[in-house]
Structure 1
């Protein structure tokens, strides 16, 4: 399966450094695995130049850190339209660390084995390996979203009720590149969406609307047998740091030794 990896660096170059080093350490690089990092004018992306020697493509996203709304889904849409020649896209957040061999290959095999799946999502693990159950397949949960108006600071995060809690999460999701997916991306995109109806306001976070549309094609998603470390909320200015940087840097030291030797 030809896999196009897509990640977005939104002022998170130190995390992106770990992502790329850990991905390269745990996967056999080949023409079937392409890696694209799109940078939101982070200002220090040159620290990732080492990755170009491993075939990683780094280019501007066309957006900046000063965008007034979340741009993640729109950047993913642009990447899908610009890079059509693959069997699946691995959307992965910049604050992910791969920890086991051939995680992407396992996810690809799981996706290929079940034609009813449109996506496979990695398990979300903490550094101790304990899995975090970040969302339920059914029911209502709550998410955070924030906006920044022109000339103003980011507002405090606020909450929406999710009308449909089932969605594949873009922190590490392998999505099949087929006609229903491409039509959805072309016509509607992958950004958050909000609908109004007699049942109230229904909010769909990034890839949330895609998940619901795939149901109309009899398609679903599953969690992979493989997991990755996901620090979470690395680009949120108002999120407490809670020692994440130190834990990130300890892992980065380990993986830097590997990539520097190769």
Structure 2
């Protein structure tokens, strides 16, 4: 990929400014308005450049079973706390339901068995974590686009928001959530995965259902999904930046 001198200077400047802020701690980075503006500009360039170079259906690289990592690290929450999730786990998620609502014509409440009856896609892809590690795994699930087409979208629908069972902080906005726009929601490799490496999705990896959005960094791949809310804006959710970590300074698009 050729990076223009202007973009290169912006990214280098962003890194230098962010590094300086990090010397004062993460809070300094998040609270520094200049850093926030520069990073937001770099994020917009990242999204626009990726969308310009790749079509909406260009696939992330897929691998063979021989390439699969012997160990796939589980990151973030390993086991959601609380009686509600424990009860679902105890009965093998028989009582779990995926809610799909918001700006849809036909709100859905789907069991795991019903999701598994829909056409499935299997893909072997590389997971890239913002922490710097990667791993290759095999995922099977239903394409998110299939679910959204079943629900029917309003003309003003813009984003899919994933509300999850895990809570990161004991605060009003501490529940984990993520979001993607409809371009990525309808990408062929964006699936709601219920198996990993030919086994039911492990708890540590997001059972019973997690998002796989293969052209984004790992924190976009929401685990423990309970509800998908279709919205026209992200401003009224959490702190208004589109995800738990984004609300705390991470990039929203996170394209790779």
Q: TM-score, normalised by structure 2?
A: 0.30
Which structure ranks higher in relative contact order (CA pairs < 8 Å, sequence separation ≥ 6)? Answer: 1
Q: TM-score, normalised by structure 1?
A: 0.29
